[in-house]
């Protein structure tokens, strides 16, 4: 399904191919995550020469996949954990359609159940897709949200949720955190901890650390602003197999060169071109343009080491960026299966440190093949916003509490990853967050931590900034850009928008 109200941002006009220029421009893309790959595709499809430099040995960044060996020397598929590919991720899906026009690499997860510490369950299955009836139906059938709670909601304080427009929502709500905002509208505690904590932890942060504007934007994207719904897709195989290996071949066919296992140290002024990109191998790459599509720490490191890059205020904004607290992923190859009724994905609240459980053989080919051979299950546990070292035993205790049949299971193999490389969207930061454009011609930024004033989040923000970075450079060279899409950039109900505007004037 495609929302007939989705917003279209037409491609900038220009020449169809760089071959029409007197000289073919060349760009270096630093980082091969979603943002960097979108930028590389956007540039290469217009005939621009592209080198992609990536410090890891795999593509995809935080959505990368790779192969490891278990204790017996057998190959096992590994990645950094479950990612939901929502139907409203239009620009990410456009990227993937380059190698799979029908998106057969993705399969639907038909439900996204949530359970709290008291055993109360919410579900998104069967909800109407039309806002605001989807949100109303979810609230009325939820065991954590009673009819009387609707009466007690502070409609005036909650009004911004019905009229989200980017960037205006940040002027209204970026000064407060999500937890304070939810309390201010009298949102019931049980529902707040279940539904909204799950949303906020998608940003790898507790509600008290997350901007209320980001939470409102996310609520708009998935509920009140889009009719695509909360049902999502997941890749049918490990991320490298399903997405990035085919996309690498697609880009290589357009002349893109990949330099994996290299770290960019700094970006300096070039001798024959505008930029010279220095790597830790001792080599350098000269380029007419540079796309910095790294994580927050990588961006800060490169900018700090690159004297003269940008200007002082811009460099200060880069250094103000923060990274979200660490998260952990624990993957278990169990010697017996979980119950056949266990969902592919379960979100949790009140089961610290556990935030969700995935049963990989429900959707991933490699896990399904392993489970069929061994008669077991491949289970993945996530813990977000960690304040201390994750406890393997604490995670397992919560798994056994929720899925008692796993108490008798033993892991044939286990992997634990801990990372802290996700951007933090703290209150008050939006005005200072650097955007795609920079003060220096030919230098652009991309990534899920970069500001872009359209309603996108997470992987879709990465993809959208990547396309936008490519479009900005293409426009500088007089080349045609690429169309991007988002959910509508305003509340869908004219009445609710009017009420929200009246409320805003009174505040």
Average pLDDT value over all residues in the chain: 92
Q: Residue 236: its pLDDT value, please?
A: 98
Q: What share of the chain is helix, strand, coil (3-state, %, to 5)?
A: 35, 20, 40
Nearest to 26 by CA among 46, 54, 48: 48
Q: Give the pLDDT mean for 189-200.
A: 65
Distance (Å, whole) CA 156 – CA 45: 48
Q: pLDDT for 415-434, tens place per residue?
A: 999 999 999 999 999 999 99
Instruction: Tell me which range, 63-72, 151-160, 470-479, is most confidently predicted by mean pLDDT.
Output: 470-479
Residues of the chain with CATH 3.50.50.60: 17-62+239-320+432-479
Contact between 403 and 342 (Cβ < 8 Å): yes
Sign for the pseudo-dihedral over CA of 179, 183, 187, 190: positive
Beta bridge partners of 66: 78
Q: What does DSSP say about strands 411-419 and 327-334: parallel, antiparallel, or unpaired?
A: antiparallel
Say which residue, 295 or 190, is predicted with more confidence: 295
Q: What is the pLDDT of residues 69-86, one digit of tens each?
A: 998 899 999 999 999 999
The closest of 472, 470, 459 to 422, measured between CA atoms, is 459
- Alpha-carbon dihedral sign for residues 478, 482, 483, 489: negative
Q: What is the mean pLDDT of residues 363-379?
A: 98
Give the C-alpha separation, 205 to 297, whole Å: 17
The answer to whether residues 226 and 3 touch, using CB atoms and an 8 Å cutoff, is yes
Q: What dotted CATH number matches 17-62+239-320+432-479? A: 3.50.50.60
Going by pLDDT thresholds of 50, 70 and 90, the confidence category of residue 194 is: low
The predicted pLDDT at position 111 comes to 82
């Amino acid at each position: 399904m495609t929302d007939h109200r989705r917003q279209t941002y037409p491609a900038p006009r220009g020449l169809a191919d760089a071959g029409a220029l007197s000289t073919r421009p060349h760009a270096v893309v630093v980082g091969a995550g979603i943002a960097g790959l979108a930028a590389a595709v956007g540039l290469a499809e217009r005939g621009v020469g592209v080198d992609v430099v990536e410090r890891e040995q795999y593509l995809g960044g935080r959505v990368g996949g790779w192969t490891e060996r278990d204790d017996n020397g057998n190959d096992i598929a590994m990645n950094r954990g479950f990612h939901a590919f929502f139907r409203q991720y239009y620009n990410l899906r456009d990227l993937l359609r380059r190698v799979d026009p029908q998106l057969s690499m993705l399969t639907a997860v038909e439900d996204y159940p949530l359970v709290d510490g008291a055993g109360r369950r919410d579900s998104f299955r069967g909800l109407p897709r039309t806002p605001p009836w989807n949100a109303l139906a979810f609230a009325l059938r939820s065991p954590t949200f009673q009819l009387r709670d609707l009466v007690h909601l502070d409609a005036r304080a909650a009004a911004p949720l019905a009229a989200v427009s980017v960037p205006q929502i940040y002027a209204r709500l970026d000064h407060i955190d999500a937890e304070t905002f939810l309390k201010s509208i009298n949102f019931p505690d049980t529902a707040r901890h279940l539904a909204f904590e799950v949303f906020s932890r998608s940003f790898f942060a507790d509600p008290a650390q997350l901007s209320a504007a980001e939470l409102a934007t996310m609520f708009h994207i998935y509920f009140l602003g889009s009719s695509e719904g909360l049902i999502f897709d997941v890749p049918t195989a490990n991320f490298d197999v399903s997405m990035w290996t085919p996309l690498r071949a697609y880009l290589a066919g357009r002349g893109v060169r990949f330099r994996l296992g290299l770290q960019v140290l700094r970006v300096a002024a070039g001798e024959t071109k505008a930029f010279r990109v220095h790597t830790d191998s001792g080599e350098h790459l000269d380029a007419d343009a540079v796309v910095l599509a790294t994580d927050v720490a990588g961006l800060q490191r490169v900018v700090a080491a690159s004297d003269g890059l940008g200007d002082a205020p811009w460099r200060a904004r880069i250094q103000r960026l923060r990274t979200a607290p660490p998260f952990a992923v624990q993957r278990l190859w169990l010697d017996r299966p979980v119950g056949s009724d266990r969902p592919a994905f379960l979100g949790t609240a009140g089961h610290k440190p556990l935030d969700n459980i995935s049963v990989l053989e429900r959707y991933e080919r490699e896990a399904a093949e392993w489970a069929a051979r061994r008669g077991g299950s491949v289970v993945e546990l996530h813990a977000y916003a960690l304040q201390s070292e994750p406890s393997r035993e604490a995670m397992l205790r919560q798994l056994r509490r929720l899925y008692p049949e796993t108490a008798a299971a033993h892991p044939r193999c286990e992997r634990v990853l801990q990372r802290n490389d996700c951007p933090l969207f703290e209150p008050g930061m939006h005005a200072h967050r650097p955007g795609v454009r920079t003060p220096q011609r030919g230098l652009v930024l991309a990534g899920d931590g970069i500001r872009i004033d359209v309603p996108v989040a997470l992987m879709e923000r990465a993809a959208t900034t990547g396309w936008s970075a490519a479009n900005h450079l293409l426009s500088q060279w007089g080349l045609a850009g690429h169309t991007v899409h988002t959910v509508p950039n305003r509340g869908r109900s004219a009445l609710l928008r009017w009420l929200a505007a009246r409320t805003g004037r009174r505040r």
